Amino acid sequence: MSGALKEVRNRIKSVQSTQQITKAMKMVSAAKLRRAQDAITQMRPYARKLQEMLSNIVSNGEGDINIKLASQRPVEKVLVIVVTSDRGLCGGYNSNLIKLAKQTIREKYSAQSAKGNAQILPIGKKGYEHFTKNNFKVEDHYWNIFTDLSFEKVQTAAKFAMDAFASGAVDAVELVYSEFKNAATQRFVVEQFLPVPKTEKKEGNKQADFIFEPDKNILIEELMPKILNTQLYKAILDANASEHGARMTAMDKATENANELLKSLKISYNRARQAAITTELTEIVSGAAALQG
């Protein structure tokens, strides 16, 4: 019985150690989440307005201006930007993003994929490792952006995608990432990055009337890449906040599960200890009775 008691005691110590780690990780993620949430909250209205402006320019300028990054053409080759995290222990966050990216390729670009014309641009170590290991065609220069996240580093990845589209190396660029809602909720989304999507024209809606100064073509040629850089940066800030929220929630749940497991183990330990005491008492009483007899 002492062996059983020792085993339960060891398990209790092990669970307590794990619980301390999960508590610490939850606190670290909560601190990082606050900063990441502030960053995306401040960025989102600016990025949304720029996106609206860009879509309006593309929609209303059709036939009037030559916009390379908005040109629609048959999709022979596709690039999928998949934003995952560098580290795990964040529940189903990474697996859901990878699953969504694969589903998008399977449902939307199966013909291109069959010809080897579907390329992945992973941002985040987990996505890079998965797609490399599973023999996808991977662009491997931008996966470590999160090691030192900055607008300049994101800009290099956005420029790669824009140059590939402008040169005809790819005909469409899709963006798969997690949109931050709150600490416990993330929305996994697929957005068309290139060609620049147009706004849907609805009856009764007035067209935006833009005044361009200096020249319309020169201004749009300069403005469009800057807006697209901002859009990718916004998506990566969303993903950064989502990751910390997912990890904080996962570690909170793990801590709760450890509490439940500790309760169960302590009950098992007490039962085993009582059984051992009862056995010892029985042996003592039996021994005393034998001596008296």
Q: Which residues are catalytic?
A: 90
Instruction: Give the dihedral sign, CA 182/238/227/166.
Output: negative
Quick count: other Cβ atoms within 10 Å of Cβ 44? 15
Location of structure tokens 């008296």: 292
Place of tokens 């589903």: 103
**Cα-atom radius of gyration of the chain, to the nearest Å?**
29
Quote the CA–CA distance of 61 and 216 in Å, as a whole number. Answer: 10
- Are the beta carbons of 224 and 85 closer than 8 angstroms? no
Three-class SS of residue 272? helix
* CA pair distance 77, 172, nearest whole angstrom: 7
Q: Are 157 and 81 in contact (CB under 8 A)?
A: yes
For 192, the 3-state DSSP assignment is strand
Half-sphere exposure in the Cβ direction for 147 (13 Å, CA):
5
Cβ atoms < 10 Å from Cβ of 201: 9
According to DSSP, the residues that pair with 190 across neighbouring strands are 176
